[in-house]
Structure 1
Amino acid sequence: MVGETKGNIIRPKQPYFVMTTSHYYKAVIMNYGISHFYCFQKEDIIERPFIAVPDGCIDILFCCDDKAPYAHICGTVLRPTLTHNSENKYFFGVRFLPGSPFEFKNITMSDLVEQEIPFLEVIKDNELFEKITSSRDFNYQIQVFLERYIKLYANFNEINKYKDLKKYMINNIMQTAGKIKINELAEATGYSVRYINKTFSKEFGLSPKVFCKLMRFQYLLSTLNELDKEMFESNLAQISMDLGYYDQSHMIKDFHEFTNTTPKMYMKSLKEIEYKKRIIII
């Protein structure tokens, strides 16, 4: 079935990052709360804006520039957002899984929604910053980051009375690609809908309804990236139904809200730029 979501693991995507470069390198981790590492050179010959779309994730983005290196911890955006649009810059990034349980000391996902905070203000590790921003060796950058991060992750004990509830909610939203209803979460956990909404919003800075909407959009992105244009057009009604949209117009409306384009125009762009050929998995 097209768009089947049972047992799904959402791998968050930022397709417009890929579209700004001819070579986008990606190393999938799916461990330690990390989805993947990525790197790319934003090229001035490719006249496409560097746009972030909603993904429910935290990224750490390092600009490895000889003259003015920087790094930011970036929360999810809630609408398509122009970001880091400098040309001819090399970027190394870490994308955490949606709702990742790891917290950066006193900074949580709720503090980062639609925000970017300088890396060194949160993680005061100048050596890590300098090692990553002074290199353009993707494998080395991954190694350096993981050596430091795994120690932090291993020592991180989440002191949080909502821990089990939070994990349960995120897992179920992810596994259903955002199709689960809030009253179903409440019924399964024994808590009220009001308590579920309050707890989720406090932890993530988003209501569970909005987070579900972001995950459904991300799953739609993944679906579109894997289909050819003809298959998409012939299965449009089935795709919208499988992903839990009311109808095709609902799916198109949500997609446009998060990308400023339609699924049809997005797929046209994928074909024009030969999207899959730009991604290099290592």
Structure 2
Amino acid sequence: MPMNSNQNNFIVSPKQPYFVMATSRYYKAVVMNYGISHFYCFNNDIIGNSMIAVPDGCIDILFCCDEKEPYANICGTVLQPRVIPNKRNYYFGIRFLPGLTLTAKQTVMSDFVENEIPFLEVIEDQELFEKITTSRDFNYQIQEFMKMYMVLYQKSLASDKHLDLKNFMLKRINETAGQIKVNELAEQAGYSVRYINKVFTKEFGLPPKVFCKLMRFQYLLSNLNNFDKNIFDANLAQLSIELGYYDQSHMIRDFYELTNTTPGKYIHSLKEKEYNKRLIVL
């Protein structure tokens, strides 16, 4: 659910790098506020029939703006890398900050984990669906979505009895790059481990230990995306220490589990696909 508007204190900017590498131009409008990480749009015009989603602890709303068969899904985080089938088309998406989503009737965060639910089953707004799927104007799509979303967002703030605790837990997880242990989180929040596990799992859809693992992975992705290939080997061991892995081998195992590739091969893919040229931050 959305939290308060002070989201620019959060550090994690969740990434789906294979979405970027699947197209020639991936446009990203950063928000980092109101529970939203960023908006994005792209044409799937390179590899055609699929993309790979990696775990990010986030919920996305993805609109396929096909002239004949438009659709939109609310997509929860995957827990392992997953091939996502799609059409060659124009897509518009909203990525929420890790653990957060819009408030909707009869849904909880756990409903979305490793799942896709049609947008209109959760948000019964046919007019918004048609406005977004019939347009390819990125700014217009953002504006129309925000008109609907901010009403739900403000209502959620007023009714969220765990707002302060949720803010605190997410802030500490982000500040520690996902390295904080559940007992430390509980102690700092002033609650029992059992209570923290219960509230966290209910509100965010994942146990805090799993969520922390995904956040550490996302920090790792961010660091790898900024690596110079020529100094990669010299820095990998140091990076594993900074991110709290037991050693370099532990980091590589975790990375492989969540991407089906190694950090070295991932770096090579970024260079080969010219990731930084395809990603256009507005």
TM-score clears 0.5: yes
SS of equivalent to 2:159: coil
For structure 1, which segment, 74-83 or 146-155, has the greater mean C-alpha deviation from structure 2 after superposition?
146-155
- Do 2:157 and 2:163's aligned partners in 1 also have CA atoms closer than 8 Å? no
Q: Match for residue 58 of structure 2?
A: 57
Offset at residue 85 of structure 1 (A): 2.7
SS of equivalent to 1:25: strand
Q: Match for residue 30 of structure 1?
A: 32
Q: Match for residue 66 of structure 1?
A: 67
- Do 1:8 and 1:177's aligned partners in 2 also have CA atoms closer than 8 Å? no
Offset at residue 106 of structure 1 (A): 2.9
Q: Match for residue 3 of structure 1?
A: none
Q: Match for residue 177 of structure 1?
A: 177
Q: Match for residue 201 of structure 2?
A: 201
Paired with 1:51 and 1:161, the residues of 2 have a C-alpha distance of 36
- Matched AA of 1:133: T
Offset at residue 82 of structure 1 (A): 1.2
Offset at residue 48 of structure 1 (A): 8.0
Residues 141-160 of structure 1 correspond to what in structure 2 (within 5 A)?
141-157=141-157, 159-160=159-160
Offset at residue 84 of structure 1 (A): 3.3
**Percent identical across equivalent pairs?**
67
- Do 2:59 and 2:74's aligned partners in 1 also have CA atoms closer than 8 Å? yes
SS of equivalent to 2:85: coil
Aligned pair partner of 2:11 in 3, 9, 12: 9
Provide closer, same or farther for how the CA distance between residues 48 and 277 of structure 1 changes in structure 2, counting only shifts above 3 A.
Answer: farther
- Do 1:256 and 1:262's aligned partners in 2 also have CA atoms closer than 8 Å? yes
Number of residue equivalences: 274
Q: Match for residue 4 of structure 2?
A: none
- Do 2:50 and 2:85's aligned partners in 1 also have CA atoms closer than 8 Å? no
SS of equivalent to 1:114: coil
Q: Match for residue 229 of structure 2?
A: 229
Offset at residue 162 of structure 1 (A): 2.9
Offset at residue 102 of structure 1 (A): 3.9
Paired with 1:229 and 1:125, the residues of 2 have a C-alpha distance of 47
Paired with 2:109 and 2:160, the residues of 1 have a C-alpha distance of 14
Please list every run of at least 4 consecutive aligned residues from structure 1 whose deviation after the TM superposition is greater than 6 angstroms: none
Paired with 1:238 and 1:102, the residues of 2 have a C-alpha distance of 38
Q: Match for residue 6 of structure 2?
A: none
- Matched AA of 2:124: K
Residues 88-237 of structure 1 correspond to what in structure 2 (within 5 A)?
88-100=88-100, 102-157=102-157, 159-237=159-237
The alignment yields a C-alpha RMSD, in angstroms, of: 1.6
Q: Match for residue 279 of structure 1?
A: 279
- Do 1:62 and 1:93's aligned partners in 2 also have CA atoms closer than 8 Å? yes
Paired with 1:101 and 1:129, the residues of 2 have a C-alpha distance of 18
- Do 1:16 and 1:49's aligned partners in 2 also have CA atoms closer than 8 Å? no
Q: Match for residue 256 of structure 1?
A: 256
Q: Match for residue 82 of structure 1?
A: 83
Offset at residue 199 of structure 1 (A): 1.8
Paired with 2:163 and 2:101, the residues of 1 have a C-alpha distance of 9
- Matched AA of 2:66: D
SS of equivalent to 1:156: helix
